[in-house]
């Protein structure tokens, strides 16, 4: 009988990422065959051992993967303590979905939802460095011409300094088109994902974000999926992500 470490079993069941599962174990929330297990590294057989978390048996649901085009005004957590609508509410599924990473409430675009805890961990951990590509409508000072905007965006290549002394890692940015005298659509590709990062980067060059949309995460593109709509990922896309 194959045995796997307990934290991996929890992650496979979609309870949490492997790292969070370790926290659940050491906090005394996990029992195996009725016995509390708080030491990491215990091994279990999925077919034979009865594992519970918070007293509830593990459920091995099939893994599901969805791509949602998030509208503005929707929060990207699994639950909201203020009762606001979340991205999970927009993707009806009997599986317990969690969003992979975050988008600000006012941002739109690509967000993945899955019950695959391992994949969620890998896609959100900085060491895996999946590119994230955004399109932003930015407002620049009235006296900036196109050349000045281009020069400002070039600063991202060296990594700009943001709030709290944090330095953004190098990112690529370019103008897509000019919308009006002082508004431009720009494309920005990041290799990390800190809170409000694009907004902070744009602020650091003396401009501001009017609209922000994520169009790609690693190998997955938003494409022409309409706003508020979702679709399952294809087998090929799931393979690429893993
Ligand atoms: N950067 C931001 O500032 N906001 C987002 O929602 C995503 C990236």
Same domain, 135 and 103: no
Minimum-distance ligand 1 atom for the alpha carbon of 200: 3
Is residue 49 lining ligand 1, measured as CB closer than 6 Å?
no
Among residues 136, 191, 135, 152, the alpha carbon closest in space to that of 168 is found at 191
CA distance 72 to 165: 29
Question: How many domains are there within the chain?
Answer: 3
Q: Do both 187 and 81 map to the same domain?
A: no
Residues spanned by the domain of 161: 131-217
**178 closest CA partner among 121, 139, 207:** 139
**Per-residue pLDDT, 32:** 96
Do 38 and 91 have their domain in common?
no
Q: How far is CA 24 from CA 13, 29, 46, in A?
A: 14, 5, 18
Collapse the DSSP code of 66 into the 3-class scheme (helix H, G, I; strand E, B; otherwise coil) and give the result.
strand
Give the β-pairing of 56-57 and 132-139: unpaired
Rounded alpha-carbon distances, angstroms, from residue 229 to 127, 142, 222, 225: 30, 37, 11, 6
Q: Are residues 140 and 210 in the same domain?
A: yes
Mutate to test the pocket of ligand 1, among 130, 138, 198 (most ligand atoms within 8 A of CB): 198
pLDDT of residue 14: 77
Tens place of pLDDT per residue across the chain (242 aa): 789 999 999 988 878 878 889 999 999 999 999 999 999 999 999 889 999 999 999 887 789 999 999 999 999 988 888 889 999 999 999 888 999 989 999 999 999 999 888 788 888 877 777 899 999 999 999 999 999 999 999 999 999 988 888 888 899 999 999 999 999 999 999 988 888 999 999 999 999 999 999 999 999 999 999 999 999 999 999 999 88
Its pTM stands at 0.83
CB 211 less than 6 A from any atom of ligand 1: no
**Signed CA dihedral, 212, 217, 218, 219: sign only:** negative
């Amino acid at each position: 009988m194959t045995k796997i470490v307990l934290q991996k079993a929890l992650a496979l069941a979609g309870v949490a990422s492997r790292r969070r599962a370790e926290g659940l174990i050491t906090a005394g929330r996990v029992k195996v065959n009725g016995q509390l297990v708080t030491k990491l590294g215990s091994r279990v057989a999925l077919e034979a051992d009865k594992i519970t978390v918070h007293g509830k048996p593990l459920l091995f649901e099939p893994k599901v993967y969805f791509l949602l085009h998030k509208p503005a005004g929707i929060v990207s957590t699994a639950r909201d303590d203020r009762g606001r609508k979340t991205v999970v509410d927009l993707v009806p599924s009997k599986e317990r979905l969690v969003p992979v990473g975050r988008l600000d409430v006012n941002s739109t675009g690509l967000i993945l939802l899955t019950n695959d805890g391992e994949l969620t961990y890998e896609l959100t951990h900085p060491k895996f460095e999946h590119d994230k590509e955004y399109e932003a409508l930015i407002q620049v000072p009235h006296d900036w011409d196109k050349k000045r905007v281009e020069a400002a965006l070039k600063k991202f290549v060296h990594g700009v300094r943001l709030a709290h002394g944090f330095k953004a890692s190098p990112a690529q940015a370019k103008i897509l088109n000019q919308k009006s005298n002082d508004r431009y659509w720009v494309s920005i590709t990041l290799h990390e994902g800190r809170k409000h990062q694009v907004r902070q980067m744009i602020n650091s060059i003396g401009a501001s974000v009017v609209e922000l949309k994520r169009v790609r995460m690693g190998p997955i593109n938003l494409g022409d999926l309409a706003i508020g709509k979702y679709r399952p990922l294809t087998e090929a896309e799931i393979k690429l992500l893993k």
